[in-house]
Amino acid sequence: MMNKKIAIVGAGISGLSAGIYALQAGYSVTIYEKNKMAGGECTGWNRHGFHIDNCIHFLLGCNDSDQINEIWKNLGVLSDDVQLYREPYFYCMEKDGITLHLWRDLERTRKEFLEIAPEDQRELNLFFDCVKNCECIKPPCDISPAHMNLFQFMKMGMSMKQAAKANAEYGKQTMQEFVNRFQNPYVRGMFGNYFNSNFIAITFVTSYAFYTSNSVAIPMGGSVGMIQRMCKRFEELGGTLNLGVQIDKIHIKNNRIISIEADGQIEKDADDYIWCADPRDLFYQLIDVKYIDKNLKYMYDHQDGYVASTGYQAAFGIASDEELELPEGSVIFPCEPYTVANENHDFCGMRVYDYDASLFPKEKRVIQCNVLQNAVNYEYWEKLRSDKKTYDAEKERVAYCLMERLEQQYPVLKGKLVLLNTYSPVTFTSWCRAYKGGYMSFNALKGYKSKYVKSTVKGIDNLFLGSQWVQNSGGLPIAAASGKFAVQQLCKREQQS
Ligand SMILES: Cc1cc2nc3c(=O)[nH]c(=O)nc-3n(C[C@H](O)[C@H](O)[C@H](O)COP(=O)(O)OP(=O)(O)OC[C@H]3O[C@@H](n4cnc5c(N)ncnc54)[C@H](O)[C@@H]3O)c2cc1C
């Protein structure tokens, strides 16, 4: 096995994870990445002397006791040398001079909310108790759920049994239905303007539980630093990173991939292949849909039930080193209405980047705004993009609308904001080939079950699948675990043959 060669497509989190696990299993590994830099969606870039951190709002698995923590340490992402920043809250809402926070300290949040909304006491207490119970929810890290036997699946379920009540309460309810359980306008504003209204409420409850369990933090150095550490680990183990190579053809013979091709160039043959890029391209363009996992196909075929999260974003630099009274982290606030992709919005969501002096020194602080978008909005942006001038103008128009609202909310920002960059859902598709601009994978909507996708590909013996798309919700931990799972299945097949 020692000289067996593996080719991996995609140098995002999943591809680098697969590469590191494969090298550790004794394989020789080459990763092919279409972009000139590794990272995929976990990336950042500089504009006008400011840094834009595209990805990490929170990294799950920052406690030693978290199972995913072991994976992060193995991948070089976390170590004693990497400092962590723990934001005090998930997000807050400022309205009419009142600020509500979802603090890490659950009891502090309970107190704050009950003071504002005593009329919602019953529903609030139920919600906070359910958040506590959801602290046991962790992404699977040992074996892919798609490959678990019944016993293993039940064991995984048992490890999260405390969350059963929360699941019964909120597992079949949309965010809008969840919001309707509350009467107080501040509570409704807080819960109703952060997530998409058609998402299932348990996702929101679980996301907050990641904070209250203290499992999330932001590693200093941000998304780019995290990727650099993974690349370093990969290359120190002897891996080869081939950047700027887009795989556009795959040749199959006798149920095996015999070679892959990029721009007419046959890339060196490998014994096994791991696809860690968007699987839609793989099955619908490069090989044949007949090979697709039935769960994955079901999700693509039921677009009303499985949607990718995406957004329109604008980044602003704060051209001042003055002490400014700005909130920390993620904030939402009501504002004058504005339109994005023909939809009206009356809330603004922003995030202040000032916690990492290596990326955002005082004179280079950044604010990013994110307006959540869906598949319908995606079509809008995609159509608009066919005329680059109109597309750019529209992105800029929205950005200036948002800048105005930021200045109205925080007059200290007046005249200090510099527009750095705007990006729409189609940016993620052109950058990473992400399906419908998705920066997280499928979200199962009301009436649809979460699905797991196998790391093996039926009908092609030497092809394996990674990427965040193998599990609902996606995100960094799912992507990292998917790389490990793909190598696990590859090693298993090796042992069997
Ligand atoms: C704005 C934003 C904020 C986010 N915030 C968070 C967060 O706070 N916490 C969290 O957990 N997650 C977050 N995420 C999600 C996280 O970034 C993703 O889940 C994760 O990075 C996905 O990794 P991946 O390897 O599955 O896919 P990708 O990152 O898409 O990597 C796939 C790679 O394959 C390459 N590729 C595609 N096709 C080919 C081809 N044919 N040939 C060669 N290369 C190819 C792509 O260029 C890409 O580099 C965020 C994402 C975004 C965009």
Domains in the chain: boundaries: 5-57+69-74+222-305+440-496, 87-213, 310-434
Contact between 355 and 387 (Cβ < 8 Å): no
The residue-averaged pLDDT of 285-294 equals 97
CA–centroid distance, 429 to ligand 1, in Å, is 10
Q: How many other CB atoms are found less than 10 A from the CB of residue 228?
A: 15
Pocket residue to mutate for ligand 1, from 55, 245, 441, 469, most atoms within 8 A of Cβ: 55
Question: Is any atom of ligand 1 closer than 6 Å to the C-beta of 247?
Answer: yes
For residue 178, pLDDT over 90 is answered with yes
Region of residue 237 (phi > 0: left; psi between -120 and 50: alpha; otherwise: beta): alpha
Task: Look at residue 297 and give its three-state secondary structure.
Answer: helix
Diameter of the chain by CA atoms?
68
* Residues 396, 83 contacting (CB under 8 angstroms): no
Q: What is residue 306's predicted lDDT score, i.e. its pLDDT?
A: 95
Which of left, alpha, beta for 91 (phi over 0: left; psi -120 to 50: alpha)?
beta
Share of the chain residues as helix, strand and coil, in percent rounded to the nearest 5: 40, 25, 35
- pLDDT beyond 80 at 141: yes
Residue indicated by tokens 């980044």: 315
Residues 6+ apart with CB under 8 A from 7: 29, 30, 31, 32, 260, 267, 268, 270, 272, 273, 274
Is 438 a pocket residue for ligand 1 (Cβ < 6 Å)? no
Give yes or no for residue 246 CB within 6 A of ligand 1. yes
The CA distance from 349 to 430, in Å, is 25
- Tell me what pLDDT residue 259 has: 94
Report the nearest atom of ligand 1 relative to the CA of 469. 26
Pocket-testing residue among 77, 250, 424, 432, ligand 1, by greatest number of atoms within 8 A of Cβ: 432
Q: Identify the band that residue 121 occupies on the pLDDT scale cut at 50, 70 and 90.
A: very high
CATH class for domain 5-57+69-74+222-305+440-496? alpha beta
pLDDT at 1 over 60: no
- The pLDDT score that the predictor gives to residue 272 is 97
Does residue 72 line the site of ligand 1, with CB under 6 A? no
Q: How far is the CA of 55 from the centre of ligand 1 (A)?
A: 9
Residue nearest to atom 49 of ligand 1 (CA): 40
pLDDT at residue 3, as a whole number:
78
H-assigned helices in 171-252: 175-179, 185-192, 201-212, 222-236
* Residue 11 beta carbon below 6 angstroms from any ligand 1 atom: yes
- What is the rounded distance in angstroms from the CA atom of residue 302 to the CA atom of residue 358? 44
